[in-house]
Chains A and B, each alone.
Chain A
């Protein structure tokens, strides 16, 4: 049975090598001495004299650790704030009836079609006027209210039986308590999907952080890698690869641990599972 399938497996394996290859190559390149790279290029897979010089360089000369911490903070906060804001808003749209509900839903829907770049210029002026330039809040807050987030939360919260909510009220639970302890646990899959989706987007975000952040100490990994590492040290290939690897490693590890949540998070809404 397997023998008949061999050509298919072979083809798939070949494509998989294409897919994973660059990661493996990055890993090996990050352990190569600069001298080995200039001599035999980056084409060999196993370094002849593996070294941790590149990583030590990043830690000591470039303060890469600082950029890493910045990015972890911004990405985590973005995910938490956005998910909470969307969950609360989606709950309001799903389980309450109030005037203006249709308008809110329509506007949220409309903004989903916008490419974010349209808002870049006026958003920058606004952030500048609010004295939020060069702060992490300028990165966390604006993206927290997305039409996509609130609508997807509304869709999932709608499936929570109203009886449970009413039961909570009869039991004397406060409205927020009902939201937090009754409704949220029931939509846990979409919550984790939204968290991951937002976390990933914030981690990889480049243009807006580049525009907003001024002080080098505040840079995120995306901005630091291009504006600091790849520009000042552009001939240090091993350092560049090491920096790239550090930047993507956490995401890869998270993915390997939470594959199902990742895939559902990134394919939200379009396909009914």
Chain B
């Protein structure tokens, strides 16, 4: 067989090789290794002991862990409740027929999506500052007392949610816009002919039409919310004050990299992953049930 004829046979493997090599080395191997790590304890220099399921057992009674999970869930749910209606509202407003400047609004609302959480965290510290912050200065001009956005223990999680709305409303809006554009206008016309008013048209044509988009956004947003690290790390300074905004990922990072107990961190990572898997499956089931 000459060189030319051999290539098509070897070709798929050659094309797959770079991906396979990198994927196996840097994704699959660490994945397997993290299961191994989760069964070990590594605190202290040179310590590497097999501890079986101890990490997982300790996690079950770890107050800090569960508090951070609750906090992160609060962020996830709070974000959803505010972001989705806002984004849908914006999309509906921008979507109306014959709206000039639709491109302008889409650009304006999408810009925050591009900015990394770190950059937002650094700059918004100056917006949310108690005395020097722009936000409180603006509030003062309309006679609203200053809010301790970054240091108030009861406030910080809400500050994060608010910032999240600014960051992602445009992202969700663009998705909803695409979804709205996919609804055939004949459906609206038929509904109007049947005597449906605005609210009824919304409920029976629009909502079912964008439900696939909404379902996706809910799942993606939840998964993303549980990975929240950069924003609280920078904006409220490592999940401060105290542990008021310590998300799960921040706790994982601290236990794994700052304390050095990589095994415990690995176990934590797996518990969160499994939780997210269950949530995603649940959302899938619910969305299938509702759309029927």
A contacts, CB < 8 Å to B: 1, 5, 8-9, 11-12, 15-16, 18-20, 22-23, 25-26, 29, 37, 41-43, 84-86, 88-89, 91-93, 96-98, 104, 107-108, 111, 113-126, 141-142, 144-145, 147, 150, 169, 174-175, 179, 200, 203-207, 211, 222, 225-226, 229-230, 237, 240-241, 243-244, 247-248, 251-252, 255-256, 259, 262-263, 266-267, 270-273
Residues of B within 8 Å of A200, CB to CB, are 114
Residues of B within 8 Å of A267, CB to CB, are 171, 174-175, 178
- CB 8 Å contact bits of B18-37 with A (1 = contact, 0 = none): 11111101111111011001
Query: Is B116 on the interface with A (CB-CB < 8 A)?
Result: yes
Secondary structure dominating the interface of B: helix
Nearest CB of A to B65, in Å: 14
Nearest CB of A to B55, in Å: 12
Distance A29 CA – B122 CA, assembled complex (angstroms): 13
Contact status B273-A248, CB under 8 Å: no
Contact status B13-A15, CB under 8 Å: no
Among A5, A108, A204, A211, point to the contact of B119 (Cβ < 8 A). Answer: A204
Interface residues of B in 252-286 (CB under 8 A from A): 252-253, 256-257, 262, 265-266, 269-270, 272-273, 276-277, 280
- 29 CB-based A-B contacts, threshold 8 Å: A12-B93, A19-B109, A23-B111, A29-B126, A43-B134, A86-B19, A92-B12, A96-B11, A107-B28, A111-B28, A113-B223, A115-B269, A115-B272, A117-B249, A118-B272, A122-B31, A122-B33, A125-B262, A144-B18, A145-B23, A174-B7, A207-B230, A225-B122, A229-B122, A230-B125, A240-B122, A247-B116, A259-B107, A267-B171
Nearest CB of A to B11, in Å: 4
- CB 8 Å contact bits of B168-186 with A (1 = contact, 0 = none): 0111001100110010000
Nearest CB of A to B37, in Å: 6
A-B Cβ contacts below 8 A, count? 262
Contact status A85-B266, CB under 8 Å: no
Contact status A42-B175, CB under 8 Å: no
Smallest CB gap from B171: residue in A:
A266
Number of B residues with CB within 8 Å of any CB on chain A: 94
Distance A131 CA – B273 CA, assembled complex (angstroms): 29
Smallest CB gap from A127: residue in B:
B26
Contact status B27-A203, CB under 8 Å: no
Contact status A262-B114, CB under 8 Å: yes
Interface residues of B in 130-146 (CB under 8 A from A): 132-134, 137-138
Query: Is B46 on the interface with A (CB-CB < 8 A)?
Result: no
Residues of A within 8 Å of B108, CB to CB, are 16, 19-20
Query: Is B118 on the interface with A (CB-CB < 8 A)?
Result: yes
Excluding A225-B122, A271-B216, 19 further A-B contacts by CB distance (< 8 Å) are A12-B93, A19-B112, A42-B137, A84-B18, A89-B16, A96-B15, A104-B20, A108-B23, A113-B273, A115-B226, A118-B269, A119-B30, A121-B262, A121-B269, A125-B33, A147-B27, A204-B119, A237-B132, A256-B107
